């Protein structure tokens, strides 16, 4: 039996030789990158890589070594591609322009989801100020279409709640329309139960609100199962409709500012299941810009439905030392059991690491869209 110290010495010598060979291989990869740059060939050649992996696997003495070699060379070729991408990376900003700050004057229209008094309007005023012309919209689509058509300079929409999670419709709209998030705002959500003057909490039979708000207050309904829950398009819109009805058996779950705006009496505060209940809102623009203080990038991509495809894409973030902060998936319309992925990560479009990662992802994904780059609120 060999001595352990001797075994380790032999392994160290093999590792030294492997290190030299790896570096020699990577230097040749640089020559390959230059050839592909001149010829216009794609870096990722899946057919060539599969043939290479099959060949090295067949060189092994046994099945276990074969699988190990396949994994080893798969990683080596992945690193080779990423090295080539650093030399071929688009040093531009993916079609985005860097600006000092966002501007919004008294003549600029800003579309927002919901009626006046909504949480979205609160987010709008916090993010852009109060001087702009505010345009309420009853649907997310209407906000996006107003921005895309140019009838609104910006649009403000909710994207995520700390209690009920993502608002998935917005992801699909951003993927399919030419609008870009340029800022985000977080608003603390404090729901109240509000009804027309003369109503009592005990006399309420129906409660109206947005489906997300109803979910966020599910604990209240668990204690009062006799109440009928009525879903509508927005919390502020429900407050308006309940006010117009003057029906003392109807109540709305909305913000206190909406209740006050529409002349409703607050019957109960603190309806949220969670004391810490906040919603993240995005400011959308037709113009792809990012401010000098931006520190978050949002992208969406589509990939082949095959083993390892998602790992290959995300490995570009790891290789470039970029911290992924969020990932979501959504079904691709018209494609059964195929998904589009939405990813947020720390960084800025003007940074080399971000440019390198996006070059690799664009090369290897079937579709990539850079949704936006903006200052993270948290």
What is the set of domains in the chain, with CATH numbers?
1-88 (1.20.59.10), 191-269 (3.40.190.10)
Q: What angle do CA 167, 141, 103 make, to 5 degrees?
A: 90
Are 229 and 214 contacting, i.e. CB atoms less than 8 angstroms apart? yes
**Rounded CA separation 42/55 (Å):** 22
Are 298 and 183 contacting, i.e. CB atoms less than 8 angstroms apart? no
List per-residue pLDDT tens for the chain, 378 residues long: 788 999 999 999 999 999 999 999 999 998 988 888 888 888 888 889 999 999 999 999 999 999 999 999 999 998 998 888 888 776 677 889 999 999 999 999 999 998 899 999 999 999 999 889 999 998 999 999 999 999 999 999 999 988 887 888 899 999 999 999 999 999 999 999 999 999 999 999 999 999 999 999 999 999 999 999 999 988 999 999 999 999 999 999 999 999 999 999 999 999 999 888 899 999 999 999 999 999 999 999 999 888 889 999 999 999 999 999 999 999 888 888 788 999 999 999 999 999 999 999 999 999 999 999 999 876
* Residues 230-240: tens digit of each pLDDT: 999 889 999 99
Cα–chain-centroid distance for residue 23? 37
To the query of whether residue 279 is one of the catalytic residues in this protein, the response is yes
Question: Quick one: pLDDT at residue 378?
Answer: 62
Residue 252's contacts (CB-CB under 8 Å, 6 or more residues apart) are: 193, 194, 195, 207, 208, 209, 235, 238, 239, 241, 242, 258, 259, 264
Helix (H) or strand (E) holding 158: strand 154-161
* Residues 222-262: tens digit of each pLDDT: 999 999 999 998 899 999 999 999 999 999 999 999 999 99
Alpha helices in 102-161 (DSSP H): 119-128, 140-149
Question: Quick one: pLDDT at residue 220?
Answer: 95
- 164-170, Cβ contacts within 8 angstroms, sequence gap of 24 or more: 164/212, 164/215, 164/216, 166/328, 167/140, 167/212, 168/328, 168/330, 169/140, 170/140, 170/282
Alpha helices in the chain (DSSP H): 4-39, 46-58, 63-88, 119-128, 140-149, 168-176, 211-216, 218-223, 235-245, 256-261, 309-319, 352-364
- Which one from 235, 279, 290, 301 is the annotated catalytic residue? 279
- Which one from 112, 208, 281, 290 is the annotated catalytic residue? 281
**Rounded CA separation 326/342 (Å):** 8
């Amino acid at each position: 039996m060999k001595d352990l110290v001797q075994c380790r010495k032999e392994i160290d010598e093999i590792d030294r030789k492997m290190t030299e060979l790896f570096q020699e291989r990577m230097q040749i990869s640089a020559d390959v990158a230059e050839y592909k740059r001149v010829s216009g060939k794609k870096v990722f050649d899946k057919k060539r890589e599969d043939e290479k992996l099959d060949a090295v696997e067949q060189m092994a003495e046994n099945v276990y070594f074969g699988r190990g070699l396949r994994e080893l060379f798969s990683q080596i070729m992945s690193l080779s591609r990423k090295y080539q991408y650093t030399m071929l990376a688009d040093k531009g900003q993916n079609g985005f322009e860097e600006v000092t700050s966002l501007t919004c004057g008294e003549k600029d229209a800003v579309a927002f989801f919901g009626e006046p008094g909504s949480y979205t309007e609160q987010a709008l005023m916090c993010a852009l100020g109060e001087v702009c012309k505010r345009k309420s919209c009853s649907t997310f689509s209407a906000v996006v279409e107003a921005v895309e058509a140019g009838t609104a300079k910006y649009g403000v929409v909710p994207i995520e709640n700390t209690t009920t999670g993502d608002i998935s419709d917005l992801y699909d709209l951003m993927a399919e329309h030419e609008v870009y998030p340029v800022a985000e705002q977080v608003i603390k959500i404090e729901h109240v139960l509000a009804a027309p003057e003369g109503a009592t909490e005990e006399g309420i039979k129906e409660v109206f609100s947005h489906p997300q708000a109803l979910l966020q207050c599910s604990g209240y309904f668990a204690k009062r199962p006799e109440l009928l829950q009525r879903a509508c398009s927005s919390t502020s819109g429900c407050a308006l409709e309940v006010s117009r009805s003057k029906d003392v058996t109807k109540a709305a779950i909305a913000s206190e500012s909406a209740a006050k705006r529409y002349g409703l009496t607050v019957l109960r505060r603190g309806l949220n299941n969670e004391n810490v209940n906040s919603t993240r809102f995005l400011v959308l623009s037709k113009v792809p810009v990012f401010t000098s203080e931006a520190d978050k990038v949002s992208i969406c991509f589509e990939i082949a439905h095959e083993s390892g495809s998602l790992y290959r894409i995300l490995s570009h973030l790891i290789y470039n030392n970029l911290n992924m902060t969020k990932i979501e998936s959504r079904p691709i319309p018209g494609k059964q059991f195929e998904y589009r992925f939405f990813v947020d990560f720390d960084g800025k479009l003007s940074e080399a690491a971000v440019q390198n990662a996006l070059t690799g992802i664009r090369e290897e994904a079937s579709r990539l869209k850079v949704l936006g780059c903006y200052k993270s609120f948290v």
